[in-house]
């Protein structure tokens, strides 16, 4: 019993203490973030096992959850949760805590007021809005669903899912307040509990309530997401008042910078809503897109958001103090660290997309996920991966801009890149709709195919490829405009450090491909195409293949980085030294 008490006390000390070191905070945050993704994958695994891509109830649920997530992401979770931190930091630093609490409460209350207005609109006009969007964006889907069953269910679930999204929004705001006090770890455990709630609903409640079991699980998860943070909020003394004081100078500052941020997030999430409705018109498309996104999102969540969140308060203070040299060093250093961690994951997803998909979503016995559906998800992962490094980089650069209280530049860049993403997505959907296999080599370019539409399942790949093009354009514009007009990042002096990591990742990719193809040829684990007579080997063999291939390839990546004396190897040495000892590599 005493051991349990001591262990609990140590854990509580770690969670309660102030976190000020960016690298330490980011690395510690990766633990709950990684566990969150693990349980997210488990949710995807059980969902794929139970529903697959083609289950209509599952597809209806995914579509119904689109608008509630859009409203919360735009109004609370993204807009307020990220943009107010510099103003909160300034208020807490330059004024007394009571003024900060009033500011915190005012922004929260104002946000909730906006949410209720939008939610009321959905409740009143949802019966007209959902069919309208389907008619405009997914007319083909209306031929395959029931007006009397499917559409009313989508509308009902949309309204029901507004409630847990509201709880998630409030909880995200509490996270924002804790971040001001440099408490980051507990805010990363909240999504972990949210995923546990979802998983509970999927496993234990769907046998009783059908697809509504998933909805009830989201209710449970969102409640836990909020509750776990309340003791920490009480510990740091974070207080809430039922006030709406709009005469505070920081309120005006927040509104000035928040409105462009609101539009920026609105553009990004409008794109997400549009592509979700469009994918609903492709058989199994919205589910394939959802499952692929579960894999892809691990990169920005694990290697971008953690660094961005940990560096955000410090960057804000440095820019406030006009210490541009330290500001520049942190930006370049963090980009290098993100690149060092992201590239091996991207290479793994590019080369091992099919084994990864099967292990994550199709490893349970009697799964509903067919080999064709596996290839559909892997196809999306491949095309998402093209822009994945730039996606991770752009999310960090957004926080860099916001630390300087510049929200207008990201807005214009976001609008431009969103238009490019949508245009490219529609063109690539048309192009891939003429393919017969999930392979780029099977694509035959012609102007006519870009402007005509067939009914192939491969068409869904147009969405991730279009989004990837948008990510690339967005990152490059954010980077070069910031360098020219905000803080000079000395690109020429640092480009060699980026190139060293790219060379190492290319070496890793070549190694991984050769090892994978060798094992594949010997064991016949993954076929070249879906075949009803396929008699592949077991999940255990597939896991063995994947782990061995990743391990050998990562050692090559590490060796090349050591050869180029990449600084991040030394920084992360104490965390990866056990792996290096196994492979006989000495970092010192």
Residue 460 domain flag: no
> Measuring CA to CA, which residue among 399, 392, 377, 291 is closest to residue 345?
392
Label residue 578 by pLDDT band (50, 70, 90): very low
> Positive or negative CA dihedral for 207, 211, 212, 215?
positive
Residue 539 domain flag: no
Residue 349 domain flag: no
Residue 436 domain flag: no
CA distance 235 to 177: 12
8 A C-beta contact, residue 459 and residue 433: yes
Collect all residues with Cβ–Cβ distance below 8 Å to 335 and sequence separation of at least 6: 393, 396
Report pLDDT digits (tens) over 389-438.
999 999 899 889 988 878 889 999 999 999 999 999 999 999 999 999 99
Which range scores top for mean pLDDT: 34-48, 82-96, 107-121, 210-224?
210-224
Encoded tokens for 575: 């965390």
Q: Is 363 helix (H, G, I), strand (E, B) or coil?
A: coil
Check residue 2 and give its pLDDT. Answer: 56
Q: When comparing pLDDT for 530 and 554, which is higher?
A: 554
Q: Is the per-residue pLDDT at 469 higher than 80?
A: yes
Check residue 236 and give its pLDDT. Answer: 84
Check residue 501 and give its pLDDT. Answer: 93
Label residue 588 by pLDDT band (50, 70, 90): low
Indicate the range of 140-154, 318-332, 561-575 predicted with least confidence. Answer: 561-575
CA dist 342 to 10, 327, 336, 516, 574, Å? 31, 22, 10, 20, 19
């579960």: which residue's tokens?
294
Q: Is the per-residue pLDDT at 579 higher than 50?
A: no
Residue 537 domain flag: no
The whole-number average pLDDT for the span 322-336 is 89
The conformation of residue 205, written as its DSSP 8-state character, comes to I
The whole-number average pLDDT for the span 44-63 is 94
Indicate the range of 57-66, 97-106, 209-218, 480-489 predicted with least confidence. Answer: 97-106
Label residue 255 by pLDDT band (50, 70, 90): confident
Residue 273 domain flag: yes
CA distance 57 to 47: 12
């992401």: which residue's tokens?
73
Check residue 526 and give its pLDDT. Answer: 47
Count Cβ neighbours within 10 Å for each residue of 306-339 and write b for 16 or more, e otherwise: bbbbbbbbbbbbbbbeeeeeebbebbbbbbbbbb
User: Which DSSP string corresponds to 12-73?
Assistant: HHHHHS----HHHHHHHHHHHHHHHHHHHHHHHHHHHHHHTTT-HHHHHHHHHTHHHHHHHI
When divided into structural domains, the chain yields a total of 1
C-alpha angle 468/471/472, rounded to 5°? 90
Indicate the range of 226-235, 255-264, 290-299 predicted with least confidence. Answer: 255-264
Report pLDDT digits (tens) over 478-528.
999 999 888 888 888 788 888 999 999 999 999 999 998 887 666 554 444
Q: When comparing pLDDT for 82 and 368, which is higher?
A: 368
CA distance 69 to 169: 10
Label residue 28 by pLDDT band (50, 70, 90): low
CA distance 270 to 274: 6
CA distance 388 to 331: 19
Label residue 260 by pLDDT band (50, 70, 90): confident
Residue 252 domain flag: yes
Q: Is the per-residue pLDDT at 216 higher than 90?
A: yes
The whole-number average pLDDT for the span 7-23 is 50
Give pairs for 244-253: CB < 8 Å, separation 24+. Answer: 244/106, 244/109, 244/110, 245/102, 245/103, 245/106, 246/106, 246/110, 248/99, 248/102, 248/103, 248/106, 250/87, 250/90, 250/91, 250/103, 251/103, 251/106, 251/107, 253/87, 253/405
Q: Which helix (H) or strand (E) holds 478?
A: helix 462-485
Check residue 226 and give its pLDDT. Answer: 93
The whole-number average pLDDT for the span 345-364 is 92
Residue 72 domain flag: yes
CA distance 4 to 9: 8
**Which range marks the domain in which residue 140 is found?**
55-282
As a whole number, the mean pLDDT across the chain is 84
Residue 530 region by backbone torsions, left for phi larger than 0, else alpha for psi between -120 and 50, else beta: beta
Report pLDDT digits (tens) over 268-289.
889 999 999 999 999 999 999 9
Q: State the CB neighbour count (10 A cutoff) for residue 540.
A: 9
User: Counting Cβ atoms within 10 Å, is residue 139 exposed (0-12), middle (13-18) or buried (19+)?
Assistant: exposed
Check residue 472 and give its pLDDT. Answer: 97
CA distance 382 to 388: 10
Check residue 86 and give its pLDDT. Answer: 66
CA distance 570 to 588: 8
């995923």: which residue's tokens?
195
Check residue 12 and give its pLDDT. Answer: 52
Check residue 19 and give its pLDDT. Answer: 47
């Amino acid at each position: 019993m005493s051991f349990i008490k001591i262990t609990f006390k140590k854990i509580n000390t770690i969670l309660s203490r102030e976190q000020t070191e960016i690298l330490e905070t980011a690395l510690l945050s990766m633990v709950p973030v990684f566990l969150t993704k693990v349980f997210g994958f488990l949710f995807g695994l059980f969902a794929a096992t139970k529903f697959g891509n083609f289950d209509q109830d599952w597809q209806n649920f995914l579509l119904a959850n689109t608008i509630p997530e859009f409203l919360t992401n735009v109004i609370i979770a993204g807009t307020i949760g990220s943009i107010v931190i510099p103003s909160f930091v300034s208020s807490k630093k330059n004024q007394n805590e009571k003024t900060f609490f009033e500011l915190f409460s005012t922004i929260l209350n104002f946000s909730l007021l906006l949410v209720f207005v939008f939610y009321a609109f959905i409740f009143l006009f949802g019966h007209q809005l959902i069919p309208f969007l389907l008619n405009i964006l997914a007319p083909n889907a209306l031929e395959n669903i029931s007006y009397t069953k499917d559409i009313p269910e989508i509308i009902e679930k949309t309204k029901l899912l507004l409630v847990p999204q509201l709880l998630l929004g409030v909880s995200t705001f509490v996270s924002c307040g804790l971040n001001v006090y440099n408490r980051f770890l507990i805010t990363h455990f909240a999504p972990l509990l949210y995923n546990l709630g979802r998983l509970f609903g999927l496993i234990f409640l769907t046998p009783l309530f059908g697809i509504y079991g998933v909805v009830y699980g989201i209710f449970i998860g969102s409640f836990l997401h909020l509750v776990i943070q309340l003791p920490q909020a009480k510990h740091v003394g974070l207080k809430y008042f039922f006030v709406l004081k709009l005469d505070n100078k920081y309120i005006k500052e927040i509104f000035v910078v928040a409105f462009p941020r609101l539009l920026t997030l609105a553009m990004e999430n409008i794109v997400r809503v549009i592509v979700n409705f469009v994918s609903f018109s492709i058989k199994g498309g919205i589910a394939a897109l959802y499952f692929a996104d579960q894999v892809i999102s691990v990169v920005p969540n694990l290697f971008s958001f953690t660094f961005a969140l940990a560096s955000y308060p410090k960057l804000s203070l440095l820019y406030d103090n006009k210490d541009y040299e330290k500001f520049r060093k942190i930006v370049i250093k963090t980009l290098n660290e993100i690149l060092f961690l992201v590239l091996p994951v991207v290479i793994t997803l590019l080369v091992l997309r099919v084994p990864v998909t099967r292990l994550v979503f199709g490893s349970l016995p009697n799964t509903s996920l067919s080999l064709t559906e596996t290839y559909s998800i892997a196809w999306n992962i491949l095309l998402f991966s093209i822009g994945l490094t730039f996606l991770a980089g752009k999310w960090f650069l957004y926080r860099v801009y916001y630390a300087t209280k510049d929200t207008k530049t990201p807005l214009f860049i976001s609008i431009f890149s969103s238009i490019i993403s949508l245009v490219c997505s529609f063109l690539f959907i048309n192009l891939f709709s003429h393919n017969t296999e999930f392979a780029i080599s099977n694509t035959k370019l012609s102007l006519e195919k870009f402007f005509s539409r067939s009914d192939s399942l491969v068409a869904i790949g147009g969405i991730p490829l279009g989004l990837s093009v948008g990510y690339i354009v967005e990152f490059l514009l954010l980077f070069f405009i910031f360098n020219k007009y905000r803080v000079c990042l000395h690109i020429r002096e640092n480009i060699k450090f980026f190139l060293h990591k790219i060379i190492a990742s290319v070496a890793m990719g070549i190694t991984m491909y050769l090892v994978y193809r060798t094992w594949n040829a010997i064991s016949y684990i993954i076929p070249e195409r879906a075949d009803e007579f396929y008699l592949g080997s077991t999940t255990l063999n597939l896991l063995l293949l994947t782990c061995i291939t990743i391990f050998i390839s990562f050692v090559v990546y590490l060796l090349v980085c050591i050869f180029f004396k990449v600084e991040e190897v030394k920084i992360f040495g104490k965390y990866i030294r056990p792996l290096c000892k196994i492979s006989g590599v000495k970092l010192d």
